[in-house]
A and B are shown apart, each in its own frame.
Chain A
Amino acid sequence: MEKKLRILIAKPGLDGHDRGAKVIARALRDAGMEVIYTGLRQTPEQIVNAALQEDVDAVGLSCLSGAHNHLFPKVVELLKERGAADILVFGGGVIPDDDIPGLKVAGIREIFTPGTSTESVIEFLRSNAQQ
């Protein structure tokens, strides 16, 4: 049997907007993935600890407060330091187009902006996350 994808959905920083994170978490679960949601106000360190502990294939970061440029790359960096560079990191939220190239260079594989369908996130994970 094919192994189920394990995904951590995380809210880094102080942002409290979690509607999108929860909708994505639920859609991924309905698509047959195992989903862990961190809840609000997680530091990059806490997120990386959770990712390692839960042995996930991918980490989805949601931020609508504008702090993504600081928080998202930090998660990738810490994963690398802990020898877990194979965990795929993706993100979403209110993220200006201009910031996306920089985030991708920093190792965030994909950024989903407002209006994205959950289906496209599911497809992205199925074709990119390590089984």
Chain B
Amino acid sequence: MYKDEALERVRQEREKWEQGGLKKVLSRFPEQKESYENSSGVDVKRVYTPEDIAGTDYVEDLGFPGEYPYTRGVQPTMYRGRFWTMREYAGFATAEESNKRYKYLLEQGQTGLSVAFDLPTQIGYDSDHSLSKGEVGKVGVAIDSLADMEILLDGIPLDKVSTSMTINAPASVLLAMYIGVAEKQGVPLSKLSGTIQNDILKEYVARGTYIFPPAPSMRLITNIFEYCSKEVPDWNTISISGYHIREAGSSAAQEVAFTLSDGIAYVQAAIDAGLNVDNFAPRLSFFFNSHLDFFEEIAKFRAARRLWARIMKDRFGAKKDKSWMLRFHTQTGGSTLTAQQPDNNIVRVALQAMAAVLGGTQSLHTNSRDEALALPTEDSVRIALRTQQIIAYESGATETIDPMAGSYYVESLTNAIEEKAMAYIQQIDEMGGAVKAIEQGYMQREIQDSAYRYQKAVEEGRQVVVGVNQFQIAEPAPEGLLRVDPSVGEQQVKKLQELKARRDNVAVQTALDELTAAAQGDDNLMPYILKAVKAYATLGEICDRLRGVFGEYIAQDML
């Protein structure tokens, strides 16, 4: 971006500075740390200059917002046109209670829903399953059938509100339930917008709510891509997630690399199943974490966008610009929250949210201050939402697009993260792709190593965590935390029994038998799942039939 002679002058002046003023100060006052390495393994320099981005070409590497390679953002006007979607991940106890929380959040100015399901729902067990005991309604809402979904979304206009659902292995079933509710509301499927997470690969790596082995799981995902491209065109069919990979301990560069490797695997699987890349790629979306290192995070988002655009264009030959765009949701880093002095978390979240906005996110969840202790209270969620509103309306960060562009540091970091991520992706390619790398435990080991390194750094005091290993105070036990009523499990079991007594059980069995037969063949399973859901077959019944055909995934855990 600079002329050779200009760079030469910078070099000369830098050397003069290093030998002069800098040297003098360093000899008397050493710096606080010997090295300033960030999570991605970049040795952060004392100061950045045009020399550090001498190889960057403005038009090729940055370009303009809404244009390839999208380093500066996916829309031409970004937040001047519309803010990101403010979406707080919520759900607990019963559908009734969660519906109340959604309505509260919408009243408070939230602009989209984000549904958290309990673990039995995420793993395809009904609330009355023996493994569900103690887990019903705990980390999210319990949904056993379309009847629960009708209550969950009662009074919420699905043609106006977009909904993100954190559901993976049984994503097709929950999507079918959502469609079922939309039809009852009289909303045409072409008007539905939202996202299912539907990202099974990272479940094997970092999140743990898998059901089936990789091959049938990839089939279910491809079936959804195909079905939605025809029937629910504005639905984001997958949210390829780095969030949980990062929470499990990865670095920023690993987060980008492993997420995009998973993305490559999904695109390849769909192409192999005979789909045209430009028919499904525009509906792929991503989900990243925003952690503590402010500039590293901003650079990470920019690098991810550029790298994905290049992968889609060069590797997969996608022609549509929408296929090249990496659109993403962000959540602030849950594992950065501390149980100690929990109000400090409000500040951490604000910084992380700002990094996400400066990184050009399309939607954002800000964590609540009490999430290291329990599910958030209504007051805590409101502060989290207000944090987003303050950034949007008061901070000025939204007035111009990609304001960090041109920073020698941020551009240099963007290049470095892209390079490091690319090297990982090549390594995974050499192993035979993401599925193989996961089966061999490669990603899992890399993540564990990073997590352990971080823990050691904290314990040895090299990494300061305010309120935990420095600046501690004696504090009383926190009060007023949210508790899920332990009778939720019983209530849910009773609802299931009532449902099974009143539905047409012959229709349920027929639909389940047809689904089983289809699973044994090659048909797209979505229409069969929809039929079963509309007959009020339960999530557990549907998943059990699929377990019978597909088998279950057994993790090989290693330390």
Q: Is the interface of B mostly helix, strand, loop or mixed?
A: loop
Give the docked Cα–Cα distance between A16 and B125 (Å).
Answer: 15
Asked if residues B559 and A29 are in contact (CB atoms below 8 Å), the reply is yes
Count of A interface residues, CB-CB < 8 Å? 36
In the assembled complex, B507 has its CB within 8 A of some CB on chain A: no
B177-233 residues at the A interface, CB under 8 angstroms: 203, 206-209
In the assembled complex, A65 has its CB within 8 A of some CB on chain B: yes
Asked if residues B208 and A67 are in contact (CB atoms below 8 Å), the reply is no
Chain B interface bracket (under 10, 10 to 19, 20 to 34, 35 or more): 35 or more
Q: Which of A27, A35, A71, A98 contacts B455 (CB 8 A)?
A: A27
Contact with A along B518-559 (1 / 0, CB 8 A): 000000000000000000000000000000000000010101
Q: Which of B125, B134, B477 contacts A70 (CB 8 A)?
A: B134
Closest-by-CB residue of A relative to B478 is: A97
Given A15-B208, A40-B555 in contact, is the A115-B452 Cβ separation under 8 Å?
no
Q: Which of A19, A69, A94 contacts B373 (CB 8 A)?
A: A94
Give the docked Cα–Cα distance between A13 and B208 (Å).
Answer: 11
Give chain B nearest CB distance to A111 CB in angstroms: 12
In the assembled complex, A66 has its CB within 8 A of some CB on chain B: yes
Residues of A within 8 A of B247 (CB): 19
Give the docked Cα–Cα distance between A119 and B459 (Å).
Answer: 8
B347-378 residues at the A interface, CB under 8 angstroms: 372-375
Residues of A within 8 A of B122 (CB): 14
Give the docked Cα–Cα distance between A79 and B407 (Å).
Answer: 60
Residues of A within 8 A of B555 (CB): 39-40
In the assembled complex, B242 has its CB within 8 A of some CB on chain A: no
Asked if residues A37 and B468 are in contact (CB atoms below 8 Å), the reply is no
In the assembled complex, B275 has its CB within 8 A of some CB on chain A: no
Residues of B within 8 A of A115 (CB): 338-340, 465, 468
Give chain A nearest CB distance to B306 CB in angstroms: 29
The 8 tightest CB contacts between A and B, nearest first, are: A16-B208, A70-B134, A39-B557, A67-B134, A14-B119, A66-B138, A114-B339, A97-B477
Binding site for A on B (CB under 8 A): 119-120, 122-123, 125, 131-135, 138-139, 203, 206-209, 247-249, 335, 338-340, 372-375, 448, 451-452, 455, 458-459, 465, 468-469, 477-478, 481, 483-484, 486, 555, 557, 559
Given contacts A65-B119, A69-B486, A97-B478, 16 further A-B contacts (CB under 8 A): A14-B120, A14-B123, A14-B125, A15-B135, A16-B209, A19-B249, A19-B335, A26-B452, A43-B131, A66-B138, A67-B133, A67-B138, A113-B339, A114-B339, A118-B455, A118-B459
